[in-house]
């Protein structure tokens, strides 16, 4: 039985990474796929844990080799999900989660129509700006660029299966966990997972 591929997208500042990290702590059956990027590491970034940091030449070679399930350029930096990090886990029946932007999400949906997509919205534009400024890791120009880019991100919200508003963190987290629970209770998943039980229940006396 193949695992479920979850894709989670949001405009910068919506709280996507915080929600994903909290979900992974509470749902150990989901593996996070670590993306490759040409973005320079931030002070607290660790290679292989937050991203695989590579130069543009390496990234472009990987594109040419067909190594990516999806890839996109965002704010001048390249981001991509390697097939080798995702497909073997799914084949083993593990659930896998990708944190990506709308461009990457569109590519994944084309390659894996069975994926489950979630879009996270901030409660307001003012709160989105406040969260971006509270990071204190980006310049004013970068913040302005991210705010401008958020409109394009949000414009694609209708492409996703589920939409969450991250106003109250605890509520948004429980909603994400509910999505995972619902997926695991689908008929096709349950029939495979509980095949022995069903055989027993259907056994003739």
Q: What is the pLDDT of residue 141?
A: 84
Q: pLDDT: is 93 or 160 the higher one?
A: 160
Confidence of residue 74 (pLDDT cuts 50, 70, 90): confident
CA distance 62 to 48: 17
Q: What is the pLDDT of residue 163?
A: 97
Examine the pLDDT at 171 and tell me if it is beyond 80: yes
pLDDT per position as a tens digit, 101-155: 898 999 999 999 999 999 999 999 999 888 888 877 778 888 888 888 889 999 9
Q: What is the number of domains present in the chain?
A: 1
Examine the pLDDT at 203 and tell me if it is beyond 80: yes
CA distance 4 to 96: 6
**79: number of CA atoms within 13 Å, CB side?**
23
Predicted TM-score (pTM) of this structure? 0.86
CA 70: distance to chain centroid? 12
Mean per-residue pLDDT for 183-194?
92
Q: What is the pLDDT of residue 205?
A: 75
pLDDT per position as a tens digit, 20-41: 999 999 998 999 999 999 999 9
Find the domain containing 94 and state its range. Answer: 5-202
Q: What is the pLDDT of residue 16?
A: 93
Examine the pLDDT at 87 and tell me if it is beyond 70: yes
CATH number at residue 55: 3.40.50.300
pLDDT per position as a tens digit, 132-144: 888 777 788 888 8
CB atoms inside a 10 Å sphere around CB 74: 18
Examine the pLDDT at 1 and tell me if it is beyond 80: no
Q: Work out the percent of the chain whose per-residue pLDDT is above 90.
A: 71
């Amino acid at each position: 039985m193949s695992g479920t591929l979850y894709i989670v997208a949001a405009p910068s500042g919506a709280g996507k990474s915080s929600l994903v990290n909290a979900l992974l702590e509470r749902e150990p059956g989901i593996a996070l796929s670590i993306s490759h990027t040409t973005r320079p590491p931030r002070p607290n970034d660790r290679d292989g844990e937050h991203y695989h940091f590579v130069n543009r030449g390496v990234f472009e070679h990987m594109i040419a080799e067909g190594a990516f399930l999806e890839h996109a350029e965002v704010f001048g930096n390249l981001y991509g999900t390697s097939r080798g990090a995702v497909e073997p886990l799914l084949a083993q029946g593990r659930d896998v989660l990708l944190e990506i932007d709308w461009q990457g999400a569109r590519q994944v949906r084309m390659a894996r129509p069975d994926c489950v997509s979630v879009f996270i919205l901030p409660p307001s534009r003012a709160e989105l700006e406040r969260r971006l400024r509270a990071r204190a890791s980006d310049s004013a120009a970068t913040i302005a660029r991210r705010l401008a880019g958020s409109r394009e991100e949000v414009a694609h919200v209708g492409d996703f299966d589920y939409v969450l508003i991250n106003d109250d963190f605890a509520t948004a987290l429980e909603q994400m966990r509910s999505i995972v629970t619902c997926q695991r209770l689908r008929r096709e998943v349950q029939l495979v997972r509980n095949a022995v039980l069903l055989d027993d229940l259907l056994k003739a006396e």
